[in-house]
Structure 1
Amino acid sequence: MRKNIPVLLPLLFIMIMAGCTKKVSLPEIQTGCIAKFEIATAYGNIPAIINDDSRQITLQLPYYLYDLKFVDPEIRLAEGATITPASGERVDLSATPVQYTVKTRNGTVETYTLMREILQLGTQLNELSTAEDTFTSTMLRNIAINGSHLIPDTNSVRVILTNTAGQQFTFTPREVSQETVILYIYDDNTIDSGLYHVQVKNLNDTVSLQYPIRINYPEPYLNLSYRKDTVKQGDVLTITGTSIRGLEAFAIYSNTGRTSDIAAYYHLEIVSSSLSELKLKIPDDLPAGQYPSSGSILRTRQQFNGGAYISKNYSQWVLVVEPK
């Protein structure tokens, strides 16, 4: 029996060693390293939404904090984790992107992106036109678009005009309050006279008016006072001024052989017009002579934007017409 002991001892040793084998644990996988991310405002603390799957930190701000730029977040992390920038360190929300680097206690490094989301109330706008009546204004005048829940910041609001051909033109408002957008359109060849559909982009919200509005050219201004022009019948007279492109008809008064006031006007053909220059052709049948034949005021009748003729008189403008 003792002869078998040397054989059994190695087997017994192997069995004992197998039973005492040390277990090796896998590295711990940590999630939710950022336990808290919160900012303090005058209206109270605002906690962020932390998405560990997308590695995003979202700050949902009420619309009245739309212009919040700098924050000092309070951050609480899982045990053993570190973050850069650190808790309490000021960051600029307008910088793109704002990123935080998190290092867990087991050495894993993750990058989180800080997002800002503005929670807006729905923008409401009052119609300018109706189905029966089209609102009409001219360039160089304020157009007030009233409503509610507007962001009072001209950097956050845009007015978009779309013409009947589908072309869009975007304008920065002159002023914005929570109830009103003031649109001012310069006469600078950006748009033409006509019908336009209106949209207001209020930060992240865009609202359209149902009915279009009409925008006309402003009344032209002509540099005709205190000057003398000598031309021949059939010549082209060049006149400078501002906002001239809306002018559609131009006539001068002549009392030579005339008795009716209306019939006493001679129409000068508009050869061309632009913002600052007008070219008029002197009629071949315009009687030669000086206009006005007496006095110091030359009377004209003008039409623009398809409206009625209006009288425009020019002091000290003398037009001398010579025969061909």
Structure 2
Amino acid sequence: MLMILSALSCKKEYEQYGLNGISSFAFADTANAKTHTAYIDMDSSAIVISWLYQWKDVDSIAPVITLPEGAVISPESGTAVAFRNGTEYTVTAQDGTKRTFRLKKALMQPIPSFSIFGDSMIVRKGTSNGFMVSNAITDLAHTSGALVNNATAAVTGVNISTITSERIGFDIPLELPTGYYTFRLTTGRYTMDADMVLHILSPIPTITSTAPAADLQAGDLITFTGKGYGDIAAVLCSLSYNGEYIPFAVESQTATTLTVRVPADAPAGTYTYARLISPDTGENTLPLSTGRRFTVIP
């Protein structure tokens, strides 16, 4: 019996002598109020940590590590290390054999989905819109949106204005060409298109300022600032709402500026109304209040 016990003891010491694995690996995560315990994948020498996409990012960890008897590890247990894929740990067994383990952050995420009512919607450039969505990551470091032109397949990134666990809101750029679009959501490991066609039109034109505004003569240029420009086909201005509307030639325009030329037959006086015509919005007669009016002199 004594010989058998002695043999078993020697066998245990021999097995322990050559072990260069990791028995346990755990760390406290104060950012997410959690304690994480890693899975040690001996086949791939990986320290696997399951991590949900919606959890806050952690830059470093100081894990508590246990090892087989007699083994040592570098960096040591309790040492702060970068929390990223590939961070290395080297275990040295009692017999001097070494094994390198690498951190692996296994990102996990439920499948997101849209809640769509209807198959199309008319929206205007420069406005905010949104969709009901579940399982989107609310951290914008992991979530983005885009509009895909259905005719050209061109992709335009959009600003995410709001995001919750149930809804995502986004802004439609003023510079976006009008047309038919699909909203594309990328959140974590998933990219998905909303099953709704967005018919994007120009915004209703506005005028917020006029320059120059005084002592204008035939041939001078006037620049209106506002929004809803870009496809303005004609501009007509009048001294009063019920007065004659005189065509002012459109010289240039962007999404927010519109430059026109004073015609030779423009009556002298202070102009208080402008009529902007575009294919998307039709005729829009705008009052020119103080700060937006302009004066033509003989």
Please indicate the TM-score interval, normalised by the length of the shorter structure.
Answer: 0.7 to 0.9
Provide the C-alpha distance between the structure 2 equivalents of 1:153 and 1:213, rounded to a whole number of angstroms.
25
Q: CA deviation at 1:119?
A: 1.6
Q: Which runs of 5+ in 1 are unaligned?
A: 1-26
Letter in 1 for 2:268: Q
**CA 1:318 to 1:240, structure 2 compared with 1: closer, same or farther past 3 Å?**
closer
Q: CA deviation at 1:212?
A: 2.5
SS of the aligned residue for 1:224 comes to strand
In the alignment, structure 1 residue 50 sits paired with structure 2 residue 37: no
TM-score, with length taken from structure 2: 0.77
Do 2:85 and 2:105's aligned partners in 1 also have CA atoms closer than 8 Å? no
1:11 aligns with none
In the alignment, structure 1 residue 320 sits paired with structure 2 residue 296: yes
Do 1:92 and 1:98's aligned partners in 2 also have CA atoms closer than 8 Å? yes
1:36 aligns with 24
Q: CA deviation at 1:245?
A: 2.7
Provide the C-alpha distance between the structure 2 equivalents of 1:289 and 1:154, rounded to a whole number of angstroms.
55
Letter in 2 for 1:137: R
Letter in 1 for 2:129: I
In the alignment, structure 1 residue 205 sits paired with structure 2 residue 190: yes
2:105 aligns with 116
SS of the aligned residue for 1:245 comes to coil
* Larger displacement relative to structure 2 (152-161 or 206-215): 206-215
Structure of larger gyration radius: 1
Give runs of aligned pairs for residues 69-218 of structure 1, distance below 5 A. Answer: 69-93=59-83, 95=84, 97-127=86-116, 130-131=118-119, 133-139=120-126, 141-163=127-149, 164-187=151-174, 189=175, 191-218=176-203
Provide the C-alpha distance between the structure 2 equivalents of 1:172 and 1:99, rounded to a whole number of angstroms.
38
* Larger displacement relative to structure 2 (58-67 or 150-159): 58-67
Letter in 2 for 1:149: N
Q: CA deviation at 1:172?
A: 4.5
Provide the C-alpha distance between the structure 1 equivalents of 2:210 and 2:284, rounded to a whole number of angstroms.
16
Provide the C-alpha distance between the structure 1 equivalents of 2:268 and 2:115, rounded to a whole number of angstroms.
55
1:238 aligns with 222
Provide the C-alpha distance between the structure 1 equivalents of 2:34 and 2:135, rounded to a whole number of angstroms.
21
SS of the aligned residue for 1:231 comes to coil
Do 2:115 and 2:133's aligned partners in 1 also have CA atoms closer than 8 Å? yes
RMSD of equivalent CA atoms:
3.3
Letter in 2 for 1:301: R
Give runs of aligned pairs for residues 277-288 of structure 1, distance below 5 A. Answer: 277-283=257-263, 287-288=265-266
Q: CA deviation at 1:96?
A: 5.4
Letter in 1 for 2:138: P
For these two proteins, the number of residue pairs brought into alignment is: 277
Letter in 2 for 1:35: S
SS of the aligned residue for 1:65 comes to coil
**CA 1:238 to 1:44, structure 2 compared with 1: closer, same or farther past 3 Å?**
closer
Q: CA deviation at 1:59?
A: 0.6
Moved over 4 A (4+): 27-32, 40-45
Provide the C-alpha distance between the structure 2 equivalents of 1:107 and 1:253, rounded to a whole number of angstroms.
93
TM-score, with length taken from structure 1: 0.72
Provide the C-alpha distance between the structure 1 equivalents of 2:85 and 2:224, rounded to a whole number of angstroms.
49
In the alignment, structure 1 residue 273 sits paired with structure 2 residue 253: yes
Residues 270-315 of structure 1: CA deviation (Å, up to 9, x unaligned): 221124543324445xx352144xxxx6122123461131221113
Q: CA deviation at 1:29?
A: 10
**CA 1:207 to 1:298, structure 2 compared with 1: closer, same or farther past 3 Å?**
same
**Among the aligned pairs, what percent are the same residue?**
19
Do 2:17 and 2:94's aligned partners in 1 also have CA atoms closer than 8 Å? no
Q: CA deviation at 1:153?
A: 1.5
In the alignment, structure 1 residue 250 sits paired with structure 2 residue 250: no
